[in-house]
Amino acid sequence: MNLPLWQVDAFADRPFTGNPAAVVVVPAWPDEAWMQAVAAENALSETAFLMREPEGWRVRWFTPRVEVDLCCHATLAAAWVVLNRLEPGGGAVVFASKSGPLAVTRDGVRLVLDFPVNRARPTVFPDGIESAVGAPVREVLATSGHFVCVVDSADVVARLQPDMAAVARLSRPALIVTAAGDGRVDFVSRFFAPRKGVPEDPVTGSAHCVLTPLWAKRLGKTTLVARQLSARGGTLFVEAHGERVRIGGSVVPYLEGVLAAHP
């Protein structure tokens, strides 16, 4: 059986920007090693696998190296596929996942994710953090899976050239570097996870589950515009809503086809 496959650019306003993700629809869950091999072959930061269940759709996400518990941009991509190709005309979809139910709704030309907050807490400076980042660090916070480094300006974030080997040695698998915006947006960031096979992720929705409550508190506002300053770049429209974060963005399709490598 040939499996349907799409590749789309999430958090993009035109082709070849935002964060590309693959979406594969399967009739039953294949062996995990096969899904991991497909994700490695796709060589994208994430491949989402969708399966229809009696209650709705279930989603799983794989980087080229590992399965992850949560991925925003690939969920946005999966929602675009459901609402535009599999169930066209729908206004919302709720995915079952390892992180619980994840709702995505239409809002004009955007899709809006509803994700759980992931709060970062102040922590001591890890050894070698400034060498890993490649710039002076004003403050370090942490979640169970991230170090969050606050630097002086958006320009510093844009010009970063981290030491990827040093980033991979940090005790958290992912590094977020962030700063207040330059007037055009409220805050900016970049995201690095070489240990997960993603040296730099172009646009990272899950990072904004961390950054949105942080910057909402510091800027005194709940609705913000964020920009991830990777080479591809992407804009996210975010809202802090209690223990949830709403993350909106546009999706641009790139290709549609079939996966001929059978599980």
Considering the entire predicted model, what is its pTM?
0.88
Q: Write out pLDDT tens, residues 107-161.
A: 999 999 998 899 999 999 999 999 999 999 999 999 999 999 999 999 999 999 9
Q: Tokens 């935002």: give the residue.
A: 18
Question: pLDDT of 172-195, one tens digit each?
Answer: 999 999 999 988 999 999 999 999
* Interacting residues of 44 by C-beta distance below 8 A, sequence separation 6+: 7, 20, 21, 22, 64
Q: Are 172 and 142 in contact (CB under 8 A)?
A: yes
d(CA 63, CA 47): 6
Whether 3-106+249-259 and 121-242 share one fold: the answer is yes
How large is the average pLDDT for residues 1-28?
A: 95
State the DSSP string of 160-183: ----HHHHHHSSSSEEEEEEE--S
Residues 6 or more apart from 85 whose CB is under 8 A from it?
A: 6, 256
Right CATH for 3-106+249-259 from 3.60.15.10, 3.40.50.1980, 3.10.310.10, 2.60.120.200: 3.10.310.10
Candidate list 46, 53, 139, 243, residue with the active-site label:
46
User: How many angstroms separate the CA atoms of 122 and 94, rounded?
Assistant: 33
**Annotated catalytic, 32?**
no
Domain 121-242 fold is Diaminopimelate Epimerase; Chain A, domain 1 (3.10.310)
Domain ranges of the chain: 3-106+249-259, 121-242
pLDDT tens readout for residues 162-174: 999 999 999 999 9
For residue range 56-115, what is the model confidence (pLDDT) as tens digits?
999 999 999 999 998 999 999 999 999 999 999 899 999 999 989 999 999 999 999 998
